[in-house]
């Protein structure tokens, strides 16, 4: 693969990581419903309502899940930034592995990121020791442009001596 293709793949992966981070942030906000329900339960002083401890449990569990979802979204967002800047190779690789747990989008994005990051030329773009980036692609000739053909080699000389008999 050429360097331009590697850079294009990393750019696309970065964009898709931003999208996944947004999706994770939205879905990570769903447990806020439990937090609000828990606050409502804690505010009830009705004899028929649940005890305040139930509300506290809702608030704590909902808060933990919201915090976990937003943290994951933040980590994926950070991986997108680092992919874009081509830094922190190991961080991006670990996050790609963790994304595989979140089906279907995280799995697809994680697998493609792992495949891309395993190419030696991409490791070179990240500055991983022992790897070099792919060389620049040669310039493409415009269609119809005249290209000088390679020099022709002379045909071998016929052997000297009498000609072989023909039948």
Answer for the pair 105, 18: CB distance below 8 angstroms, yes or no: no
pLDDT digits (tens, 9 = 90+) for 98-146: 999 988 999 999 999 999 999 998 998 998 887 776 676 666 666 766 6
Number of helices followed by number of strands (H, E) in the chain? 6, 0
Nearest to 16 by CA among 95, 128, 88, 123: 95
Q: In this model, does residue 36 exceed pLDDT 80?
A: yes
List the chain domain ranges. Answer: 3-126
Tell me the per-residue pLDDT of 63-108, one tens digit each, with 9 for 90 and over: 999 999 999 999 999 999 999 999 999 999 999 999 999 889 999 9
The CA distance from 61 to 10, in Å, is: 37
Q: What is the pTM of this model?
A: 0.73
C-alpha dihedral sign at 71, 72, 73, 79? positive
Instruction: Please answer whether residues 137 and 3 qualify as being in contact, where contact means their C-beta atoms are separated by less than 8 angstroms.
Output: yes
């Amino acid at each position: 693969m050429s360097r331009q293709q590697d850079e294009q793949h990393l750019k696309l992966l970065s964009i898709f990581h931003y999208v996944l981070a947004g999706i994770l942030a939205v879905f990570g906000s769903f447990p806020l419903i439990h937090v609000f329900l828990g606050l409502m339960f804690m505010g009830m002083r009705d004899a028929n309502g649940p005890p305040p401890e139930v509300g506290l449990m809702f608030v704590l569990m909902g808060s933990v899940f919201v915090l976990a979802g937003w943290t994951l979204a933040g980590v994926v967002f950070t991986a997108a930034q680092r992919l874009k800047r081509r830094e922190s190779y190991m961080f991006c690789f670990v996050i790609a592995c963790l994304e595989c747990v979140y089906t279907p989008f995280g799995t697809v994005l994680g697998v493609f990121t792992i495949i891309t990051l395993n190419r030696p030329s991409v490791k070179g773009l990240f500055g991983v020791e022992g790897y070099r980036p792919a060389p620049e692609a040669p310039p493409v000739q415009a269609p119809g442009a005249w290209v000088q053909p390679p020099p022709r080699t002379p045909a071998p000389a016929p052997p000297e001596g009498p000609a072989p008999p023909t039948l």
